[in-house]
Amino acid sequence: MGGPRQEQQPAVDGVDEVAPGVIRAQLPIEMPGLAHVNCYVVPDGDGCAVIDPGIPGAGAYDTLVGRLAEAGFEVRHVHTVLVTHSHPDHFGAAGRLVAESQAELVTHSAFRMWWSEGPPDPCTQIHDVDVDDLPQGNPWEGTTPWGGAGFVRPERLSFEPADFVPPTPTRRLRDGDRLTLGGREWWAVHTPGHTLDHLCLFDAEEGTFLSGDHVLPTITPHISGIAAGRDPLASFTASLDKVATLPGVRRVLPAHGLVFDDLADRVEGIKEHHVERLEKVRQIGLALGESDVEAYSHELFRPQVWGSMAESECYAHLEHLRIAGLARRREVQGRALYAILA
């Protein structure tokens, strides 16, 4: 087997211009399958915009400030912070950065932190998301939808709550909205699947596509069965098809890994991976007979990665098969059991 995937490589020191008017700063993180997040800085005459400023925590924030300095900016120069989606390696430092810079905080209209109680603010119009896909209550507490053990709340991970300022968006984008960054117009491209609120950006003038976690260069994004809609795999596939047809994309800036140029080819590779995974899940189910999600996940994944994330991905694929009429689900003592229909 080869070495670590691009997304698993440690953060590189320094900053570099990876597209016209876009500077990349890699920030170190420790998350399953990931060792860095790409924070992008877009300068203009008024200062700069910062995209995905990384995880919460005092040490992480100091690294972010240091990278900004290497790019020639202080925190006070930041006028816009954009978060591509509601995962803490992307939004974690956004609240503090906004508080200290008085910047605008831009997200998709359905942005919602994992542990927020209830649906998004009822005053917020969720134009891109079906109301039935919105999570109710806190989907991360208690047992999972398939009856497994609950997830650890993100704020209990490797940082002190005092180091975290909750992000409050001041501008929420919908699909097709326009945003000016670096003196150029970028399109907001809503790409649900990895999360319900995932947002990509496209600069048609330069052919630069900022893909967040939607399209990564060497791994496939995690498709969660929690808080990502009723059929996140179907949403993800549709979002992949959507971005593959964007005209004139010349370079892709992912949230993890290195810049690449063939968006359509990478999209096909990711789609093929999920077709193969669905077939593998089908074959596992035919061999096991009616079983719970944990049993499926133990056949689908290596023991090193068993647990909530593996089960969540497996659950998303099983629900996709069920909705497609290829599997049957029933509840027994609070646990979901799935049988593959031959």
Locus of tokens 């919105």:
134
**Structural element, H or E, at residue 188:** strand 184-190
Residue 114's pLDDT is 65
Structure tokens at 131: 């109301």
CATH architecture entry for 6-271 = 4-Layer Sandwich (3.60)
Is the pLDDT confidence value at 39 over 60? yes
Is the pLDDT confidence value at 161 over 90? no
Structure tokens at 316: 């998303």
Q: What percentage of the chain has pLDDT greater than the value 90?
A: 81
Burial class for 1, CB neighbours closer than 10 Å (0-12, 13-18, 19+): exposed
Residue 47's pLDDT is 98
pLDDT band at 134 (very low <50, low <70, confident <90, very high): confident
Distance CA 250, CA 121 (A): 37
Residue 138's pLDDT is 66
Is the pLDDT confidence value at 103 over 80? yes
CATH (residue range 279-340): 1.10.10.10
Structure tokens at 292: 């719970």
Residue 143's pLDDT is 82
What Å distances lie between residue 62 and 53, 83, 97, CA to CA? 11, 19, 11
The values of phi and psi at residue 137, to 5°, are 70, -155
Q: What angle do CA 172, 194, 132 make, to 5 degrees?
A: 65
Residues in contact with 237: Cβ distance below 8 Å, sequence separation at least 6, in sequence order: 193, 271, 274
pLDDT band at 119 (very low <50, low <70, confident <90, very high): low
Residue 192, helix vs strand vs coil: coil
| Span 139-163, average pLDDT | 67
Average pLDDT in the chain: 92
Residue spans of the domains in the chain: they are: 6-271, 279-340
239-276 per-position pLDDT tens digit: 999 999 999 999 999 999 999 999 999 999 999 999 99
**Structural element, H or E, at residue 239:** helix 232-244
Residue 240's pLDDT is 98
| Cβ-contact 337, 331 below 8 angstroms | yes
| Span 91-99, average pLDDT | 97
H helices within 292-340, ranges in order?
293-300, 308-323
Q: What angle do CA 16, 20, 22 make, to 5 degrees?
A: 50
| DSSP annotation string for 8-30 | GSPPPSSEEEEETTEEEEEEEEE
Structure tokens at 167: 């992000």
Distance CA 279, CA 252 (A): 29
